[in-house]
Amino acid sequence: MIKIEDKKELVKLCSFIVMGDGGVYYNGKNCYFVMNMKKENSDYIYLCKDILENITSCKIYNRKDYNKDGYVRKEQLRLESRIHPFFTDLRDRIYTDKYKGIDPHALKLLDYEALSFLYMSDGSLYRYLRPEINMKNESYSVNLNLKRLSYGDLFILKKALKEKLDLEWNINRHGKYFYLRLRNKDLYKFMKGITPYITPSFSYKILDANLLNKDGDIVCSSKKLEESSRNDLTV
């Protein structure tokens, strides 16, 4: 277990875990935490377990989803906590009825460590080829695909990211969903700030900041870039 003495630090981490892929649900008068994750991301789910066990005990077990024919469709790890009033408080702040939103209190504590939990769970790094440009033929896009959030919630998050981390994002739309897209000029700053907190299984979502200049442009050859970034496209 990672011992966390600072209560604000614990609230920050737990809040952003829940605002990512985690969830808190009622069982009687109080709530428990639950999260499902691919087995290949076991380092992330064990990190979350270490943090949450500052609140109460948790367990991780295998979970199988079956299709209508009875065959295993996918296998995941499931993290589940005991019932605790702490999670009830998180539920009251983050959820509106049954829908997950943004916790304004947690946004006051926003830093790169907190942002890393949103990025690992719901972030993506896309690579675009730009052959019309000689040396700079690589372009990247960082998105936060928080589909469950309303436009209003994304606007609140966008504002906090600017105020706390000086990162500028656009709110874009894909079909009926909205998402945040990082402005390219802040790509260097984002990668430099968030990389220390990314678990190894999510390393495909980051770029070596040394490959970028402070305007977010690629400053190395395509060969060197290809060697340093094996998985360029992810959701």
The model's pTM: 0.85
Cβ contact 123:112 at 8 Å = no
pLDDT digits over 22-71, tens only? 999 999 999 999 999 999 999 999 999 999 999 999 999 998 777 776 66
Which string of b and e fits 163-179 if b means at least 16 CB within 10 Å?
Answer: ebbebebeeeeeeeebb
Is the pLDDT score of 230 beyond 50?
no
Q: Among 114, 122, 118, 128, which Cα is nearest to 235's?
A: 122
In 3D, which of 115, 141, 124, 122 has the Cα closest to residue 197?
A: 115
CATH architecture of 113-228: Roll (3.10)
Reported as a single tens digit per residue, the pLDDT across 149-197 is: 999 999 999 999 999 999 999 999 989 899 999 998 999 999 999 999 9
235 vs 233: CA distance, rounded Å: 7
Separation of alpha carbons 83 and 19, rounded Å? 18
CA 71 to chain centre: 30
Determine how β-strand 138-144 pairs with β-strand 95-96: unpaired
pLDDT at residue 228 greater than cutoff 50: no
Residue 1 or 214, more confident: 1
* pLDDT reading at 7 higher than 60: yes
| Candidate from 10-14, 15-19, 29-33, 133-137 with smallest mean pLDDT | 133-137
Please state, rounded to an integer, the average pLDDT across all residues of the chain: 87
Which CATH superfamily hosts domain 7-101?
Homing endonucleases (3.10.28.10)
- In this prediction, residue 64 carries a pLDDT of 78
pLDDT at 229: 42
CB 109 within 8 A of CB 13: no
What pLDDT digit, counting tens, does each position of 63-122 carry?
877 777 666 667 899 999 999 999 999 999 999 888 899 999 999 999 999 999 999 999
Token digits for 125?
């790094």
Residue 232's pLDDT band, with cuts at 50, 70 and 90, is very low
Pairwise CA distance, residues 105 & 109, whole Å:
7
CB 144 within 8 A of CB 131: no
Residue intervals in the chain for CATH 3.10.28.10: 7-101, 113-228
* Closest C-alpha to 112, from 184, 166, 62: 166
Banded model confidence at residue 225, pLDDT cuts 50, 70, 90:
very low
Q: Average of pLDDT values for 141-151?
A: 92
**Tokens coding 80:** 């589940």
138 pLDDT higher than 70? no
